[in-house]
Structure 1
Amino acid sequence: MVDPKEVAENILKIAKKQGCAAQVNMLKSESKEISLRKGEIEQLLTSVDISTGVRLFKGKKSIVIAFSGKDFGNMESKLANALESIDFLSEDKYKRLLKPAEFSGPVRDLELTDNAFEKLDISTIKEALQRIESGALAFSNKIIPSDMADFSGSRTDIHQFTTEGLSKSFFKTSYSFSYTAVAEDKDKGLKERDSWSEYKRHFNELPNLEEIGRIGEIAAEKAVKRLGGKKIKSGERKVVFFRPTAGDLLDLLCDAVDGEEIVLKNSFLVDKLGEKLFPDIITVMDDPLIKRYPGSYPFDGEGVTGMPKAVIEKGKLLTYLHNSYSAGKLNMKLTGNASRGISAEPHIAVGNFHLQSGQGSLEDLLHEMKEGLLVNELYVSGINSVTGDFSFGCTGFLVENGVATIPVKEITIAGNLLELYGNVVAIADDNLWKSTITSPSMLVSKLAVAGT
C-alpha cells in the first residue's frame, strides 16, 4: 500500500536538498468498463494506474518529470537528471510555486465519492445493460442490434504537496450507462444513429433496474426520428439549439475566456473585460463547489480553493479564467481554475461552467419560435478563435407552427459567436449537468442557414 504523503514528503525533502522548490501531484485511478451486445458481454476492462508528477522550480525556471507505478527508488538521480535539463530552459518569472496565503482555504466535502465502486457486481451491471439494449430493440423494429450498451465506473484519488506546505487530497467516483441506437429503413436504404446516457457521481443515483431500459428507449426514439432527413433552402432563420448543441457553443465561449488564450491574444474576447457584450438574459457561471456535480472540485491543480464565479453577468464580461501563470502575466487575481496533469505544466480548466437557465421547456421555445430550425447535432469545426467567426455543419428538424416536423441534414450554420449570443432571446430550463460544460436549450432570433 503506497502512502502518498510519505512518498511526497521524501520527494520534497530530496528537492530541497538539491536546492529546488517542488510540487508533487499523485494520482491513483481505478476503472471498470463493460460493453454488451446481443445480450452478452463483449468487453470487460479493469485498470489501476498510479502516476506521480513532480514540478521542480529553480530560480525562474521550472520543469516537470513524471513516472508511473510504485517504483519510487533512485529518486535523487531522477531529480538530478531533470535539473541538468532545466539549465537549458529560458527564464519565466511567472512560472512559480504558490505561497501558503494563496492555497490556505478549506478542503470542502462536495460528496464526490461513494463506497459503491469496490462493490460493483458484474452480474447486476450485465442485467442493466441487457435491459438498456432490450429497451431500444423493443421501441421499434427499425432498431438493429449494431452498437453496444456500455457501462463505465471509476474512482480517482488526487493528492497535492509542495515545499511551501501545501498538503491536500480529494477523491471522486463516477458512473455512467450509455447506448447508441442504430435505426434502419431497409425499404429506403437509410440508416441513422443517436445516443443517450446517464451519468452520476453516486451509483445509487443512476436509474434502477426497473427504469434503466429507458436509456435504450430514448436513444432509439432519437435515432428513428432522424430517418429520412432532407435538405432545406438557404436563408436567415430563427434557430433553437437543443441543450447538447447549446453546450457545444458554450464550450467555444469557454475557450474564449481561457486566461492562457487571452495571454496569447488568441481569443475574440481579448480586451473586452468589463464590456456589456450580450443581452441581460445571458449569465454564465463557473462553479466547482456544487455537490456531486461532474465538474466539481474542492481545490484546483495548484491547490487554490475552488470558487463560484460569474464569468458573464447579465451580458457583461466580468472575468477571465486563470491559473497562476495567466493571472501573473495579466496582473489579475487567481480564479481557482488551474488544472495540473501529471506530465505537464498547469493549464486552465473549469468546474461546472454553465449558461444560467431560464424558464420553460424545449417545447416552449419551439412554440415561441413558431417557424425555424431546431439544431440537435453540431459538427464543431471551422471557427476563427480570434474573431469568433464560425461555420458548422449540423442536423436537426424543421419547425413549423411551433412543432418539430421533418428531419433535416446536410445544412450549415454560419455567423459570429458574439453576434449569436447577442441574438439569444429565450433560454429553457432543461440543463442535465452531464459534463463540466453544460447549457440549457436556447432560442436565437436570427442566423444564416445554408442548405440547397
Structure 2
Amino acid sequence: MTGASSDLQALTRALLDAARAAGASEADAMAVEGESLSVNVLGGALEHAERAQGVEIGLRVLIGGRQASVSASEVSERTIAEMAARAVAMAREAPVDDSLGLADPDQLAGTTDMARGLELDDDRPPPAPPELLDRALRAEAAALAVAGISMVESASAAVSHRRLWLAATNGFSGGYGRSGHSLSAVAITGEGLGMERDWAGESRVWAADLPPPEEIGRRAGERTVARRGARKPPTGAFPILYDERVASSLIGHLLSAVNGAAVARGASWLRDALDQPVLPPGLDLTEDPLLPRYPASRPFDAEGLATRARAIVADGVLQGWTLDLATGRKLGMASTASAVRGISSAPSPGVSNVTLSPGNATPQALVRDMGRGLVVTSMLGASVNPTTGDYSRGAAGFWVENGQIAYAVNECTIAGNLRDMLMRMVAADDLPEWRPHRVPSLLVEGMTVAGD
C-alpha cells in the first residue's frame, strides 16, 4: 500500500467513525486525491499553464431509509466531525426510501487489488512541463502546416493522476489510482462569416498509447479545411450517416433509456422493451469495465460490488437494465454492479467501456450506397423526449450527392424517433479504440433534415 493510499484509507476510516458517532446506522465514504497539469499554446509560444492539486472527501449516511451526502476539500478532524453531524441532520429530514441501503457483505468484491491487472496507472513518471509544452507546440505546428489553415485557435496537452479510496460500514474498503494523458488542437480556416473550425483530440491512460502530436494536429487541420464553404442542406427525408466521432451519442440515448433510474420512474421510452428487439438482428451492445488501460475501467463499482462484463443488447434484443442496488431493489432485480458516484452525490446507475459490434461495410461504402443524404460529424443542442423517444438535434457535416461528398454542411436540424431510428441502423466497420463508448459509424435511413 502506498503512502498516498494509506492516507486516503485513513480519511475514509475517520469519516465512518465520525458518522457512527453522530448517529448514522450505515455510511460510506470516499477520499480522492489528484493532481493535474495542462498547457495551452498559441502562435508558437506558451499561452497558459495550469497546475491543480488537492484532496476531497465525501460522506453518505443512511438512517432508517433516509440518506444524505456531504463533501469537503478540507480534511481536519473538526471538518470531518462537522460533516458527519450535518449529514446526519440532513438525513433525518429526508424522505424515506425503503430501497436505500448498503450492500450485504456477501455481495462485496472479494478482492480490492484487481486494479493491478487493469493497468490504470501509467508506470512511467509523468511528463514535465517542458515535455507537455513540446507536445502542444508540435500539434499546433502540424495543424498550421495543412494548406488552407489560417490559424490554430488552441493546442493543448495535459496530464493528470487521481487516487481514490472507498470504504463503508458493511466492511468494504478498497481503492486504486488512475493516470490520464490528453492532447488536442482546434484549427480555423477562412475569416469573417466564412470562418470554419474543427478539432481533433485524444486521451489515454498511458502516454505511450497516445497518437503522435503531429497526427493530432494534422487531423485537426484536415478536418477544418474540409469544412470550407459550408452551407445549409436541403429539407426533406434522407438517410443520415453518423460519423464515428458522434455515433456514440446515438447509442448514448439508448443507454439512458435502459438506465434503471429512468425505468423505475417510468420515464423511459424503452420501459416496456425488456427481452424485446431494440436494435437490428446481429447487433450486440456490451459493457466491459475490466479492459486494461481503458479510461473508464474499474475493478469495483461505487457500492463495492465487483464489476464484470455483461450484455446489454444481444442479437438486437434488450437483455436487461443498468442497475445499482437501490434501482435494482425498486425493480425487483439484482444490481449489475453499475453504481457510479461523485464525492458529493449518492450512487446512481452508470456504464463504462460500452462497445457496439461493428458491421462489415466501410463508411465510404455506406456513403456510396446512400446516394443522397447527410454525413453528420458534429452535434449541437438536443431535444429528446425521454418518455416517447422523439428526437431533434442540431448538426453539421457533409452533404452527399450521387454517393459522394458534395459540400460541407452547417446549421441544420435532424429529427426522428429513437425507437424507429435504432431499428433501422446499419453499423460500419470502423470501430474506434480506447474510448469509453466504442461505436462505429452508423447509417440511419429515413430521417428528417431541416436545412434551407
Category of TM-score, reference length = shorter chain: over 0.9
Find the counterpart in structure 1 of residue 139 from structure 2.
Answer: 132
Q: Partner of 2:8 in structure 1?
A: 4
Superposed CA offset, 1:324-343 (max 9, x none): 11111111111111112111
Q: 1:52 maps to which residue?
A: 57
Hey, what's the Cα distance between the residues in 2 that align with 1:162 and 1:440? 39
Cα shift readout 1:115-148 (whole Å, capped 9, x = no counterpart): 33x53122222122111111111111x3122411
Give the distance between the partners of 1:76 and 1:220, measured in 2 at CA: 54
Give the superposition deviation at 1:400. 2.8
For the residues of structure 2 that align with 1:139 and 1:294, how far apart are their CA atoms? 31
Structure 2: how far apart are the matches of 1:449 and 1:291? 40
Please give the alpha-carbon distance, in whole angstroms, between the structure 1 residues aligned to 2:77 and 2:397: 54
Query: In the alignment, does 2:97 pair up with 1:96?
Result: no
SS at match of 2:41: strand
Aligned to 2:90: 85
Q: CA deviation at 1:434?
A: 5.1
> Counterparts of 2:414 and 2:235 in 1: how far apart (Å)?
10
Q: Distance in 2 between matches of 1:92 and 1:366?
A: 51
Q: Please give the per-residue CA displacement for 1:197-238, whole angstroms capped at 9, x wherever unaligned.
A: 12111012223xxx4212111111111111111223222212
Supply the distance in 2 between the matched residues of 1:14 and 1:414 (Cα, whole angstroms): 52
- 1:370 is aligned to 371
Q: Give the distance between the partners of 1:401 and 1:147, measured in 2 at CA.
A: 35
Q: Equivalents in 1 of 2:237, 2:387: separation in Å?
A: 24
Distance 1:406 1:161, change over 3 A: same
1:149 pairs, out of 148, 155, 159, with 155
Amino acid at match of 1:280: P
Question: Which structure 1 residue ranges, 4+ long, deviate > 4 Å from structure 2?
Answer: none
Q: For residues 55-91 of structure 1, what are the alpha-carbon distances to aligned partners after superposition, in whole Å with 9 as ceiling and x for unaligned?
A: 1122222221211133233644542343233222222
Residue 359 of structure 2: aligned partner: 358
Q: 1:223 to 1:74 in 2, by over 3 A?
A: closer
Rounded to whole Å, the distance in 2 between the matches of 1:17 and 1:100 is: 22
Structure 2 CA distance for partners of 1:75 and 1:237, relative to 1, 3 Å? closer
Distance of 2:179 and 2:42 partners within structure 1: 26
SS at match of 2:184: strand
Contact 1:258 1:320 in 2 (8 A): yes
Match of 1:172 in 2: 178
CA distance in 2, matches of 1:258, 1:302: 17
Q: Per the alignment, in what secondary structure is the counterpart of residue 180 of structure 1?
A: strand
When structure 1 is superposed on structure 2, of 296-305 and 406-415 the one drifting more is 406-415
Choose 441-450 or 67-76, whichever is displaced more: 67-76
Query: In structure 2, do the counterparts of structure 1 residues 274 and 122 end up closer, same or farther at CA, with 3 Å as the change threshold?
Result: same
Q: Which moved more, 1:74-83 or 1:119-128?
A: 74-83
Give deviations 1:345-370, integer Å, cap 9, x for gaps: 11222111232222343212223323
Measured against aligned partners, the alpha-carbon deviations of 1:284-332 in whole angstroms (never above 9, x if no partner) come to: 1122111111221111111111111111111111111111111111111
Residue 215 of structure 1 aligns to a residue in which SS?
A: helix
CA contact (8 A) 1:49 1:69 kept: no
Q: Which residue of 2 aligns with 1:324?
A: 325
Q: Which residue of 2 aligns with 1:158?
A: 164
Residue in 2 aligned with 1:279?
Answer: 280
Is the CA contact (8 Å cut-off) linking 1:431 and 1:439 kept in structure 2?
A: yes
What's the RMSD between the two structures over aligned residues? 1.9
Q: Quick check: 2:264–2:330 contact (8 Å CA) kept in 1?
A: yes
Identity across the alignment (%) = 29
Other-structure match for 2:268: 267
Q: Does 1:121 align with 2:125?
A: no
SS of the residue corresponding to residue 373 of structure 1 reads strand
Query: Structure 1 residues 281-290 or 413-422, which shifts more?
Result: 281-290
Aligned to 2:70: 65
Are the equivalent residues in 1 in contact too, given 2:12–2:165 (CA < 8 A)? no
Mapped contact 1:198–1:434 kept (Cα < 8 A): no
Q: Residue 180 of structure 1 aligns to which amino acid in structure 2? A: V
Structure 1 residue 49, shift from structure 2 partner? 1.7
Query: Helix, strand or coil for the counterpart of 1:243?
Result: coil
Secondary structure in 1 matching 2:195: strand
The answer to whether the Cα contact below 8 Å between 2:285 and 2:355 also exists between their aligned partners in 1 is yes
Question: Aligned ranges for residues 147-226 of structure 1 at < 5 Å?
Answer: 147-184=153-190, 189-207=193-211, 211-226=212-227
1:277: Cα distance to partner? 2.7
Distance 1:114 1:185 in 2: 42
Letter in 1 for 2:136: L
Letter of the aligned partner of 2:202 in structure 1? E
How far is the alpha carbon of 1:15 from its aligned partner? 3.0
- Residues 328, 129 of structure 1: alpha-carbon distance in 2 compared, 3 angstrom cutoff: same
Q: Any stretches of 5+ residues in structure 1 without a counterpart?
A: none
Structure 1 window deviating more from structure 2 (346-355 vs 366-375): it is 366-375
Give per-residue Cα distances to partners, 1:409-445, cap 9 Å, x unaligned. 2222111011111111x31222324542331101123
Residue 443 (structure 2) aligns with: 443
Measure, in 2, the Cα distance between the counterparts of 1:384 and 1:266: 9
When the two structures are aligned, how many residues end up with a matched partner?
444
Structure 1 residues 72 and 428, CA, compared in 2 at 3 Å: closer, same or farther?
farther
1:111 paired residue among 100, 119, 129: 119
CA contact (8 A) 1:244 1:438 kept: no
Single out whichever of 152-161 and 230-239 deviates more from structure 2: 230-239
**Structure 2 contact 135–157 (Cα < 8 Å) conserved:** no
Contact 1:143 1:183 in 2 (8 A): yes
Q: 8 Å contact 1:185–1:227 — kept in the other structure?
A: no
With over 3 angstroms needed to count, the CA separation of the structure-2 counterparts of 1:260 and 1:120, relative to structure 1, is same
Q: Which moved more, 1:397-406 or 1:11-20?
A: 11-20
Question: Distance in 1 between the 2:97 and 2:412 partners?
Answer: 47
